[in-house]
Structure 1
Amino acid sequence: MVESESFGEKMVLKSIVRELKDLRDGMGSISRRSSDGNLNSIRRGRSYIAPEGSTTSSSVIICQSRWAYIPPELLVNIIQRVEGSETSWPARRDVVACASVCKSWRAITKELVRTPEQCGLLSFPISLKQPGPRDAPIQCFIRRERPIGTYRLYLGLSPALSGDTSKLLLAARKIRKATSTDFLISLVGEDFTKTNGTYVGKLRSNFLGTKFTIYDNQPPCDPAIQSNCKLQQKIFPKQVTPNIPAGNYSVATLSYELNVFRTRGPRRMQCTMHSIPISAVQEEGTAPTPTEFTKFCDEQFCTVPVSKGKKPLIGFSSNSLAEPLESILSTRDPLVLKNKAPRWHEQLQCWCLNFKGRVTVASVKNFQLVVSAEPSQNISVAEQEKVILQFGKIGKDIFTMDYRYPLSAFQAFAICLSSFDTKPACE
């Protein structure tokens, strides 16, 4: 009797999920016919979620769905069962489909789905901006497309093992300029325009390819910065900071040591994560975790530029408002990562690192990042030896990327993109 009841419950859940998929596909065809051209609307075969407050024709049809009137108690039970049973892609799309039904389904699903730090799973696009799990890394791979200068990040062990279960997370397009190189990062692999809702940030290098800056499309998830931005919006609503590009917030800087004569061995790199404090890797420390894509500050006058590659400064129109934030950031040391030094193998006559089977091809691009801390910062030896990010080659134009807390998928992907740029002065 119990087995028949559980079988009946599974059949009901499958029928609900099947109808949700049909509803999602129907909304995708409607969104393509809408005249507003909103690229954040739900498309066929892609896990997009329409933003709250949108006025597209598809959102009207969602609210009229019969599933919008399910009692909250039953709705919580349904979403809990779907979320608990679907632990990997592409089945994870069912969880996203539940959040696409209407506002009530969306709110409950967002409450039940935990962050990658807590569950080790990626569900919504905002998960790519949240820190990874603490216990085990999230394993991904990058596919490089040389002719068009595109790099795609997929969720999975490798293309051979993942097959159709791999999920496209992020994509980047390389754009060469006269004095620098930009890697534009997007949620989709076809559109990299900054005016599109799928743009999430970029990586910019200097002329020699020895220094890089990671820009985010939204402000750092820091309560002090957000409260200061709100205060300035009330006091100076019309003032504008000149010469600052809108939607670019510097969150990290990378530097490669010069090695013109090639006497220092493999590449040496250092990453300063200005948006993550060093206390995040301490015991009971926490890293900033955004909960939604939102631009809390006004893009016209609230940015976090970097001065000479050292400490970030807040670019405000009023010096009196900037002083409190500068004092806060000066007392909060940023997280600094450095590449783990390889050892020289006498028999193989090459530099080696233990990638635990995740890297199979020798390459100058291979690296592992660990925490670089001073004795006064009270970071344990175990935390300093833990690999936060590792990147390496496994085939022609195929690379693995494994990241963990406190880095996010977006930050880890941007760091790995720096390895693809030409560095004649570093190797």
Structure 2
Amino acid sequence: MSAERSSLPSRPPKGWARCLYSGALYTLSPLIWRRVWREQVPTHPRLERLGLVPALNGATLWLHAASVGEVIAARPLIEALCSRYPAHRLVITTMTATGAERVDALFGGEVTHHFVPLDFPGAARRFVSKLAPDLAIFFETELWPNLLEACYRQGTPVAVVNGRLSERAMRGYRRLGALMANALAKVDWLAAKSNEDAERFRELGMASERLSVVGSLKFDISVDENVCGESERLRASFGTRPVWIAASTHPGEDEQVLTAHGRIRERYPDALLVLVPRHPQRFDDVADLCRMRGEHLARRSRSEPVQRATTVYLGDTMGELMRLYGAADIAFVGGSLVPIGGHNLLEPAILGVPVLSGPELANFLDVAEVLRSANALTDIADAEALGEAVSDLFAAPAERLRRGDAGKAAIMAQRGALARTLDGLERLLPCPSELPTRTDNSQ
């Protein structure tokens, strides 16, 4: 057990709130199971949701990232853990099927993936017992009371990294005060993204001596040179026409994007929109919407070429967003014209692509502020403003270049959270040289 573990109270807060929480989960279990039933991939049995996974031999690290966005944000940390702790098997868990597919696409056999068990007491105990991790790492706000309890009972140190807690989430968690205080008492170290996030965690009961502000891991994003090369080839296939991308869009947002594109084409008739819906189950619906709006559509999933008459290129594939961003002159990041909280502004910015966003940015306020400070983020309020902003940037290539360069430089200047996070995690683990080489089991 780590030295940090000794800083925990000898008797954690009473678990009555967790017992009530568990009872509520059991009562709602039919609804919960139905909700996760479709979150599945063929290579993983659904019984993983009950903690039924193969036992592992040797040293193991466990990192939980809920879905696609968290997996992408955690990528620098995952790569660093694989490099720094080669004697450990790294197990990644996700809640969603799209998150599982992203883990496989990014890391393949370099890591082991399982679906995280539902937070029933028995499932949590079975899962932690089978993994027997030397360290459990929860990404952002994934605070599951029974999983944390299972780690505590087994003596597994727990870290929460890239910890964030929005004001909206804080209001919800505050109503579960006793439950959250009990859960946070099981966390050995919490690495918050900002002073504001740290203060909210303190209000929920996180001890200050086990809380650090390290910055956002999102800023340590890296760009694969192969991806850049593929972006250049894709851009060349589009020709010299102006190209903009609307990525990670949601219902109610695609309609606004297509309205904006119609206005853009009044000034730039050959403009091409690359439209990338957030969720794959919506690809066909968005394709139908484009046709209904009279757009000439090409679908990437079908390898349909972009021809002179094509007005919308539908990015209906998974794992290719960075390639598509790199092929555009301007990027609008979705989830921001509808009350979703925004999506990852860093991906286009690190590629030097000027970034536009709507006002709904609760999940990315820190990133938005960095880009705004560098005059590298264009805020738009609606479809009309989006069309006008894109058209104005098409008309000003020098300004596009300046904003793209400024955004990339601002992101590069914020790096460093990864090193600080790794330093904190190292205090919870033995030195890699002291560990035996793991026994490699089949997955």
Structure with greater proportional strand content = 1
TM-score (norm 2): 0.23
TM-score (norm 1): 0.23
Structure with greater proportional helix content = 2
